[in-house]
A and B are shown apart, each in its own frame.
Chain A
Amino acid sequence: MNAPLPFESLASAAVLAAPEPAIRVESLSKRFPGAVAPVLDDVSLEIAPGEVYGVIGRSGAGKSMLVRCINRLERPSAGRVFVSRRELTRLEGRELRAERRRIGMIFQHFNLLSSRDVAGNVALALEGGRAPKTEIAPRISQLLDLVGLADKARAYPSELSGGEKQRVGIARALACHPSVLLCDEATSALDPETTQQILALLKDINRRLGLTIVLVSHEMDVVRDIANRIAVLDRGRIVEEGATFDVLAFPKSALARSFLSGLVAHELPPEVLATLVDAPHPDTDPVVRIVFTGEAANAPVVADLVTRFGIHPNILHGRIDRVAGRPLGVLTLVAGDSGDGRLAAALAHLSHLGLHAEIIGHVLRPALARRRSGAR
């Protein structure tokens, strides 16, 4: 490189204009020769400094490939990756290795050295002139304190539980003061309780160190509480992206809805769904889905429908959760519509309260349905 100046000055100009994202991925693609479909297909995203960014998708959707392209464990076929303004996709060899130290990574199977004890595993990240010799020991005890393993420094990985192994992985990943931490299914080999502990630790690290975290998981409940924003990946493409709460409250894609079904009652149980028809006719009642968010979740909605609008709702399905610290509920009910516009007025009232209500279909009136099935 003879003339790096124009590029550098452009980059610094961009910093003045807007806070530079911690990670920027531009049109990233990865395809293996001979494979029919690409693993990653034109993925672009930006992750702000200090953000916890969740990437979810089914297995094989390309999530792991995406994070592995960020620290260049995999070489992308096309596209660019920037971490803290440095373009990793242009680096090789020594330069790439130096940049990787600024990016921590933890793995599903922890990937610790069985030949080294806990302190030795953390030391691996500090050796080779990365930290002055006299600073290695204090730094290790500092890191082990941070992850709550101060008393296990001399234990070998074979003597540790899964949760403890992942804590060692986290300590190792943080050793060189990275600005970014990549978590590739980091809790998928752990039981639910340990998962919560590791997530709490990650959240704590995110807050205390201002670390940007990219969290890849096939489980929605792993990212729900900790991620500020999430991207839903399907067959190598981002099908949905946004603030966690928005994606959970108003999923646009069918895939996101099905991912959320265990957490948020967006989808009706199949046996209820089967009774729904698209078009109204004289024997049906409209089915209304109401999404409760934030303050409006506390409004006495069902009572309002009865007392103010004279509608007698029949609840089909519902659930209220806390997502990213805010209440989120989805209620699906059958609203008996007498055809005099009461329902329209009620829906207007709900939207005035800040609730999101929509008619998602129509269902045969219960009395009629009973008569029909009796006749059969």
Chain B
Amino acid sequence: MYFGLLSPAVAAALVESLKQTAFMVSIAAALSTALGLPLGVLLVVTSPGHIAGRPLVNRVVGTIVNLVRSTPFIIMMVAIIPFTRALVGTVAAIVPLTVAITPLFARLAETAMRDVDRGVIEAAEAIGASPLEIVVKVLVPETLPGIVAGVTVALVSLIGYSTMAGTVGGGGLGDLGVRYDYQRFMPEVMVAVVVVRVALVQAVQIVGDAAARAVNHRLARRRGAA
């Protein structure tokens, strides 16, 4: 399609940039999920009246999360450079991306898990479930559709943030667009980048929605239609 309008060298660069973006985004998403989910659990269970109510812990963790979330990504990226000197290129960009998205995902997971019916948690307590069991067997599975939706939102945000990763030599689609459009006066490359990014975001959203539906047992569906 549009690839045909680009020179082979630019097309190759586009594919390379797409790979870099996919790499940065997927690793950062995996790390943010792995770190953000426990953080979200912590925010839920330490809230007053919950299974491990610790208002002070809750307030401290909540404040840190808010601090990180209120820092503009471009500033955070520059601020983190001293800590990522040992890393090079795309790998180095993963660190600020993870730091930026983890608190966002933690809040999304928290919001989902906060909605678990108090009665369901009590039913688990009544049969002797421990707090850890309640987290693993009740809070997370019961809100899996919401958590999956949270991963989708985090992924889309990551795709957005990753465009700035070129600033620290992370490469990727955003970097490609900036270099070719503004520095080499090739606006068609920017158009190609935008088209690829739109397709990427659409694909992530469609797959994410389908995954969220697949893990949702709340809605009665016709037998065999699963």
Given known pairs A158-B217, A158-B219, the reply for A111 and B120 (CB within 8 Å) is yes
Count class of interface residues, chain B: 20 to 34
A116 at the interface (CB under 8 A from B): yes
B188 at the interface (CB under 8 A from A): no
Give the interface segment out of A24-32, A100-108, A140-148.
Answer: A100-108
With both beta carbons as reference points, the residue of chain A lying nearest to B125 in the complex is identified as A73
- Shortest distance between the CB of B75 and any CB in chain A (Å): 40
Mark interface residues in B111-152 (1 if CB within 8 Å of A CB, else 0): 000000101101111111110010001100110100000000
A169 to B127, CA, bound (A): 11
A116 to B130, CA, bound (A): 18
Task: Give 6 CB contacts A-B under 8 Å.
Answer: A73-B122, A104-B127, A105-B126, A111-B120, A113-B120, A124-B129
Can you list the 9 inter-chain pairs with the closest CB atoms, starting with the nearest?
A111-B123, A115-B141, A97-B128, A111-B119, A101-B128, A105-B126, A158-B220, A100-B128, A125-B127
B85 at the interface (CB under 8 A from A): no
A191 at the interface (CB under 8 A from B): no
B218 at the interface (CB under 8 A from A): yes
A103 to B127, CA, bound (A): 8
Given known pairs A73-B122, A115-B142, the reply for A156 and B127 (CB within 8 Å) is no
Residues in B42-76 with C-beta less than 8 Å from chain A: none
Which residues of chain B are near A80, meaning CB under 8 Å? Answer: none
A166 at the interface (CB under 8 A from B): no
Which residues of chain A are near B130, meaning CB under 8 Å? Answer: 94, 97, 128
- Shortest distance between the CB of B194 and any CB in chain A (Å): 39
A175 at the interface (CB under 8 A from B): yes
| Contact status A176-B142, CB under 8 Å | no
B223 at the interface (CB under 8 A from A): yes
| Contact status B142-A172, CB under 8 Å | no
- Shortest distance between the CB of A259 and any CB in chain B (Å): 26
| Contact status B119-A107, CB under 8 Å | yes
With both beta carbons as reference points, the residue of chain A lying nearest to B132 in the complex is identified as A128
Given known pairs A107-B119, A156-B217, the reply for A176 and B126 (CB within 8 Å) is no
| Contact status B128-A98, CB under 8 Å | yes
- Shortest distance between the CB of B68 and any CB in chain A (Å): 30
- Shortest distance between the CB of B119 and any CB in chain A (Å): 4
| Contact status B133-A128, CB under 8 Å | yes
Which residues of chain A are near B123, meaning CB under 8 Å? Answer: 105, 107, 111-112, 169, 172
A105 to B215, CA, bound (A): 28
Main secondary structure of the interface of B (DSSP, over half): helix
Which residues of chain B are near A151, meaning CB under 8 Å? Answer: none
Given known pairs A107-B119, A115-B144, the reply for A97 and B220 (CB within 8 Å) is no
A173 at the interface (CB under 8 A from B): yes
| Contact status B217-A176, CB under 8 Å | no
Binding site for A on B (CB under 8 A): 117, 119-120, 122-130, 133, 137-138, 141-142, 144, 215, 217-220, 223
Number of interface residues of A (CB under 8 A): 34
With both beta carbons as reference points, the residue of chain B lying nearest to A173 in the complex is identified as B127
A319 at the interface (CB under 8 A from B): no
A175 to B123, CA, bound (A): 13
A157 to B142, CA, bound (A): 12
- Shortest distance between the CB of A308 and any CB in chain B (Å): 60
A99 to B128, CA, bound (A): 8
Given known pairs A107-B123, A158-B220, A159-B220, the reply for A113 and B142 (CB within 8 Å) is yes
- Shortest distance between the CB of A57 and any CB in chain B (Å): 20
Which residues of chain B are near A207, meaning CB under 8 Å? Answer: none
A71 at the interface (CB under 8 A from B): yes
Mark interface residues in A147-169 (1 if CB within 8 Å of B CB, else 0): 00000000011110000000001
Which residue from B119, B133, B137, B141 sits with its C-beta under 8 Å from A109?
B119
| Contact status B217-A172, CB under 8 Å | no
Given known pairs A125-B127, A176-B128, the reply for A114 and B218 (CB within 8 Å) is yes
Which residues of chain A are near B141, meaning CB under 8 Å? Answer: 113, 115-116
A75 at the interface (CB under 8 A from B): no
Which residue from A101, A104, A115, A169 sits with its C-beta under 8 Å from B217?
A115
Interface-central residue, B119, B127, B129, B223, by most chain A CB under 10 Å: B127
Which residue from B142, B144, B218 sits with its C-beta under 8 Å from A158?
B218
Given known pairs A115-B141, A124-B124, A158-B217, the reply for A97 and B119 (CB within 8 Å) is no
Given known pairs A114-B142, A114-B218, the reply for A97 and B120 (CB within 8 Å) is no
| Contact status A130-B128, CB under 8 Å | yes
Which residues of chain B are near A104, meaning CB under 8 Å? Answer: 126-127
A274 to B119, CA, bound (A): 46
Which residues of chain B are near A127, meaning CB under 8 Å? Answer: 133, 137
| Contact status B217-A114, CB under 8 Å | yes
